[in-house]
Chain A
């Protein structure tokens, strides 16, 4: 298939359309606005729903409505907007409704700036809103992955009746790369629980309120069982030059790509270093990281944050091997030279 050049934001939008997204509801915010603009053109052409909501809060609740109606629904935003969506994401999880949320992260806290960042990792992977729940979180590092993971997000969301999130930094949204747009056999599962009108069946109720402790506990037990199932089945990651690597760099998204270039240079200089790049941030690919402690003499976590994913690596490594960290704050993106320098320092400290 011929490759086409697409911007990350537009590619995610097109992928969602191909995945059978029936309704998109969003609100403009840099650096994801092209996604909303693309949807505003394409969705009406296809006879599907597009609404520019009055806020991120309204938009995520429109998504909730469309998901409750049994349709594939999506919203997108960037960090401050995703904070506003947390109420709705918690309700999606509590109601067990499938939906896809895209967060093209920018620098924070507060209004921050519009530059690329990965500082929403905690918010995305630890629940984000109130209550015991997890959205499934996928982290693309290229535009092609942004497409593939968007399609996967719709599938996983439907499979587990759970919100799924695409977590990319600003440069994933803005970068243009050649991609192949797959033809998707969009086959959402039957949704007998959806509110479609009760003709020929008992009424359906979609809710998350259980006034008594007992029933709510039972409800949570069911949800937790589902999360354990997701953790058992859906951990995903990519590897680069891990063979013989004594230093294992753990980085996702754009940081993973930058690390890849630095690792190539370091390998040229004979340094035994490789990359472990998480693709699912929830469920975190902890099993694969744990299995690397036999091989690795040191882990180096790189993030465009003050050290959020770092905690998940430390949990997986369980103190058996040192875990070092380098972070970039406030929308600054690492360069390969900076990473190469860090690799050299870590080598001097641990591998000599």
Chain B
């Protein structure tokens, strides 16, 4: 297995944390992993994105111009990464904010109004990243959902542990949406 996943959005949408969680989950499964963030002044308010590599072999380049999957949390991310997804790859879009339809036909895609759902169901827009991550895990099986849950338990800072349960529910929610979509 060799997956390179880009998670991209505005600063504060949790792109970097979602990527870290996925990376920790890969580590739980004893895979080779790498998490490479964008960094610098843009981290504050601008674009925040990371590339997560999960592989069975030692990882060469942690950088990719052809990701196997992308989570686009906002319109600029959709615009930037839709053309780059590997043919046959996956594009998951936060359609609450990124309203454009996915144009490419040679990739799998799923639009989830994650920010709206997070606000309506968790009263916390910042859960959107977990909903989208749950969907990504479901559609790629890059790691198991169990591994993500374990990684969450281990790596969510103690002071945030009250968010453990909502995060779990959000991940499960995303997973279920993707399952349902694949049946439709």
**CB within 8 A of B65: which of A177, A257, A337?**
A337
Chain B positions 5 through 44: 1 when the CB is less than 8 Å from some CB of chain A, otherwise 0: 0000000000000001001100100001111110111000
A30 to B64, CA, bound (A): 23
Interface presence of A196 (CB below 8 A): no
Instruction: Report chain B residues within 8 Å CB of A16.
Output: none
Q: How far is the CB of B138 from chain A (nearest CB, A)?
A: 23
Tell me whether B83 is interfacial, beta carbon within 8 Å.
no
Determine if B62 is an interface residue (Cβ-Cβ < 8 Å).
yes
Q: Once the chains are docked, how many angstroms separate the CA of A261 from the CA of B27?
A: 21
Q: Does A349 contact B (CB under 8 A)?
A: no
**A334 and B60 alpha carbons, distance in the complex (Å):** 13
Is A261's CB under 8 angstroms from B34's CB? no
Interface size on B, residues (CB 8 A): 21
Taking the complex as formed, is B66 at the interface, i.e. its CB lies under 8 A from any CB of chain A? yes
Is there contact, CB below 8 Å, between B36 and A171? Answer: yes
CB distance from A255 to the nearest CB of B (A): 9
Q: Which residues does A use to contact B, with CB under 8 Å?
A: 3, 5, 30-31, 113-115, 170-171, 174-178, 254, 257-262, 264, 333-338
Determine whether the beta carbon of B65 is less than 8 Å from that of A336: yes
How many A-B pairs with Cβ below 8 Å? 71
Interface residues of B in 36-95 (CB under 8 A from A): 36-37, 39-41, 59-66
B40, A171: Cβ atoms closer than 8 Å: no
Specify which of B20, B33, B60, B64 lies most central, judged by the most chain A CB atoms within 10 Å of its CB.
Answer: B60
**Which B positions have Cβ atoms within 8 angstroms of A?**
20, 23-24, 27, 32-37, 39-41, 59-66
Pairwise interchain contact B27-A170, C-beta atoms closer than 8 A? no
Contacts of B33 in A (CB 8 A): 5, 177-178
What are 29 A-B contacts defined by CB distance under 8 Å? A3-B27, A5-B35, A30-B39, A31-B40, A113-B40, A115-B40, A174-B36, A175-B62, A176-B20, A176-B23, A176-B34, A176-B36, A176-B37, A177-B35, A178-B33, A254-B62, A257-B62, A258-B60, A259-B60, A260-B60, A261-B60, A261-B61, A262-B61, A333-B63, A334-B63, A335-B61, A336-B60, A336-B63, A336-B64
> Complex Cα distance A113/B39, Å?
11
Contact A177–B39 (Cβ < 8 Å): no
Given the contacts A5-B27, A176-B20, A114 and B61 also touching, CB distance less than 8 Å: no
